[in-house]
Amino acid sequence: MSTNPYPLGLRLAGRRVVVVGGGAVATRRVPALLDAGADVFLVAPELTPALHGHVDAGRLHWERRRFLPDDLDGAWLVQVAVDDPVAAASVSAAAAERRIFCVRADDRAAATAWTPAVTRHGPVTVAVLGGGDPRRAMTVRDEVRALLATRGPGEGGTAPAGATRPAGAGRASDPAAGGGRVALVGAGPGDPELITVKGWRLLTEADVVVADRLVPGLLLDELRSDVELVDASKIPYGPARAQEEINRILVDRALAGRVVVRLKGGDPYVFGRGGEELLACAEAGVPVTVVPGVTSSIAAPAAAGIPVTHRAVAHEFTVVSGHVAPDSPASLVRWDALAGLRGTLVILMGLKNLAAIAAVLVAHGRPADTPVAVVQEATTGAQRQLRSTLGAVAADVLAAGLRPPAVVVVGDVVDALAAGFPG
Ligand code: SAH
C-alpha cells in the first residue's frame, strides 16, 4: 500500500479545529490555524503566555482540563500537541472513531495527517512535505522561499529571464478591478536590504514602478526587464505640477489594468506626500494600499549609533521638517515650543536652514552645548556623519561639506551610546 501523502489546502474558516496541549508545539501551531480563520478549541490544563494572550484577546476557546473524547464532536481536524504518548494515543483513537484527521506532533507514524513546512508570499502558499523527514522539508521550503523572494510568486518557473508577459499575469490579483491597483511602498532609508518583506514582494510583482530620487538604486537594478520604470525625480515641472503628474501616472496605469508600485524613500507618509497619492487613487476608484517603510528619521540616527530614545536620557522624540525657514510665514512648526522640549529632536530636510534652526532653538532656551549629530546618506556605502553642538553645528556642517540627504539629531541621545563606541 502506498504511504504517499495526498496534499490538500484545508479551508478552515469558521470550522472547529481542536488543539490538545498548551505548550511549545501548540504555541507554534495555533497562529496558522487562527490565520486560516479556524474556530480553535484548545484543551489543556496549562498554557504558555503566548497562548494565554490569544485566549485573553478572545481569539480562541480554552478548556482548562485534560482531553475528553467528546471534545472532538463537531471538529473537522485535531492537532495533538502533547508529549505523553498514552494521552496522544487516546486522542488519535477518538479521532479515528469519528473519521477526523489527526496531526500528531509526537508520532508521525501514528498521525493521519502531516503538517508541511510552509512559506507564504501574498496569495501564494507553498507547502512542503519531506517524505517523513521534517528537516528535509524545511530545507526545501527555505530554498523555495529564497527563490520566491528574488523572483516573486507570480513568475513562471520555466520562462526565460526577461521574458515578457501580459500585465497582471500569473498572480491572483483583484479580478473585480481588472487587476489594476497601486501600492505605495516605503523603500527604507537607503540600504536595499531595509525594504520590508511585503514591499519587496510587491516590487517583484509590479508591472510599473514609479520611483523617487531617494529610492535605493540597487532595488531598481533587480527589477525584471519588462517592468516600466518611471523616474519621478525626472518629471520636468515644478513640484506642484510634478506631483499632479505622478498622481496621473499612478491612476492611468492602474486603470489600464497594471499593477503599480509607487516606491518612496523611507516611509511613504513621513514627508513623502503619500497621503496625496492615496487620495488621488481613491478618488479615481483605484484600489490602493500602503506598505510602511523604515523611515530615515529613526534609521539614520541608528546607523550613526544613536538611539532616538534611551532609558533615563530621552522619553520622547519629535520628527520635524526643516525645509521651511523658521521665520517664514509659511512655517507650520512651533520652533519656540520645540526648544522647550527635553527629548530628542530629529530634523529632516534641515541642512539649508540649519543655522536659522539652531539659532531659534537656542534663542528659545535649548542650551547651545546640546549635542547634535548630522548623518548624511545613512545606511548606504556613502554614509558620512559628524558630531557637534547646537551652537557650532551649522559652521561644522559647512566646514565638513556635508550635503543632503541628511538627518540632524538634537539631544543627549547623541552621546548616549558613546561608551559603546570607543574612539
Ligand atoms: N519619507 C522619507 C523622508 C522624505 S523627506 C523617510 O521616511 O525617510 C527627505 C529627507 O529625508 C531628506 O532630506 C533627509 O533629511 C532624509 N533622508 C532620507 N533618506 C536619508 C538617508 N539615507 N540619510 C539621511 N537622511 C535621509
Residue 348 CA, ligand 1 centroid: distance in Å:
6
Q: What pLDDT, on a 0 to 100 scale, did the predictor assign at position 149?
A: 77
- Residue 174: is its pLDDT beyond 70? no
User: Phi then psi for 390, rounded to 5 degrees?
Assistant: -60, -40
- Contacts of residue 164, defined as CB under 8 A and 6 or more positions apart, other chains included, come to 226
Task: Count Cβ atoms below 10 Å from residue 163 Cβ, excluding itself.
Answer: 12
User: Phi then psi for 65, rounded to 5 degrees?
Assistant: -175, -175
CB of 406 closer than 6 A to ligand 1?
yes
Atom of ligand 1 nearest to the CA of 347: 15
Q: Give the ranges where 19-155 is alpha helix by DSSP (H).
A: 24-35, 49-56, 85-98, 134-151
Q: What pLDDT, on a 0 to 100 scale, did the predictor assign at position 94?
A: 98
* Ligand 1 pocket: which of 194, 195, 214, 218 to mutate (most atoms within 8 A of CB): 214
Does residue 342 contact residue 369 with C-beta atoms inside 8 Å?
Answer: no
- Output the 3-class SS for 243-274: HHHHHHHHHHHHHCCCEEEEEECECCCCCCCH
Residue 395 CA, ligand 1 centroid: distance in Å:
22
The domains found in the chain, sorted by start residue, are: 16-114 (3.40.50.720), 166-291 (3.40.1010.10), 297-415 (3.30.950.10)
- Contacts of residue 35, defined as CB under 8 A and 6 or more positions apart, other chains included, come to none
Confidence at 310, pLDDT banded by 50, 70, 90 = very high
* 423 burial type by CB count under 10 A (0-12 exposed, 13-18 middle, 19+ buried): exposed
Q: How far is the C-alpha of 276 from the C-alpha of 263, rounded, in Å?
A: 14
CB of 267 closer than 6 A to ligand 1?
yes
Averaged pLDDT of the chain: 91
CB of 375 closer than 6 A to ligand 1?
yes
- Residue 153: is its pLDDT beyond 70? no
For the residues 256-281, what does the mean pLDDT come to? 96
Please pick, among 106, 191, 212, 267, the residue that the annotation labels catalytic. Answer: 212
CB of 216 closer than 6 A to ligand 1?
no
Residue 345 CA, ligand 1 centroid: distance in Å:
15
Looking at 212-335, which runs of residues are DSSP E strands? Answer: 228-231, 259-264, 288-291, 317-321
Work out the end-to-end distance of the chain between its first and last CA atoms, rounded to an integer number of angstroms.
70
- Residue 355: is its pLDDT beyond 70? yes
CB of 187 closer than 6 A to ligand 1?
no
- For ligand 1, atom 5, name the residue with the nearest CA: 271
Q: What is the pTM of this model?
A: 0.80
For the residues 307-333, what does the mean pLDDT come to? 97
Residue 16 CA, ligand 1 centroid: distance in Å:
48
Q: What pLDDT, on a 0 to 100 scale, did the predictor assign at position 223?
A: 85
User: Phi then psi for 250, rounded to 5 degrees?
Assistant: -60, -50
Q: Pairing state of beta strands 371-376 and 344-348? A: unpaired
- Residue 219: is its pLDDT beyond 90? no
CB of 405 closer than 6 A to ligand 1?
yes
Task: Count Cα neighbours of 335 within 13 Å in the Cβ-side half-sphere.
Answer: 23
* Ligand 1 pocket: which of 296, 353, 376, 397 to mutate (most atoms within 8 A of CB): 296
CB of 385 closer than 6 A to ligand 1?
no
Does residue 205 contact residue 258 with C-beta atoms inside 8 Å?
Answer: no
- Residue 314: is its pLDDT beyond 90? yes
Does residue 274 contact residue 184 with C-beta atoms inside 8 Å?
Answer: yes
Q: What pLDDT, on a 0 to 100 scale, did the predictor assign at position 173?
A: 46
- Contacts of residue 334, defined as CB under 8 A and 6 or more positions apart, other chains included, come to none
Containing H/E element for 387?
A: strand 384-389
User: Phi then psi for 216, rounded to 5 degrees?
Assistant: -55, 125
Atom of ligand 1 nearest to the CA of 303: 23
212 is catalytic: yes
Residue 290 CA, ligand 1 centroid: distance in Å:
18
Does residue 186 contact residue 199 with C-beta atoms inside 8 Å?
Answer: yes
Q: What pLDDT, on a 0 to 100 scale, did the predictor assign at position 154?
A: 61
CB of 298 closer than 6 A to ligand 1?
no
Q: What pLDDT, on a 0 to 100 scale, did the predictor assign at position 422?
A: 58
Does residue 191 contact residue 265 with C-beta atoms inside 8 Å?
Answer: no
CB of 152 closer than 6 A to ligand 1?
no
Is residue 189 classed as helix, strand or coil in its secondary structure?
coil
Report the percentage of the chain scoring pLDDT > 90. 78
- Residue 160: is its pLDDT beyond 70? no
Does residue 307 contact residue 416 with C-beta atoms inside 8 Å?
Answer: yes
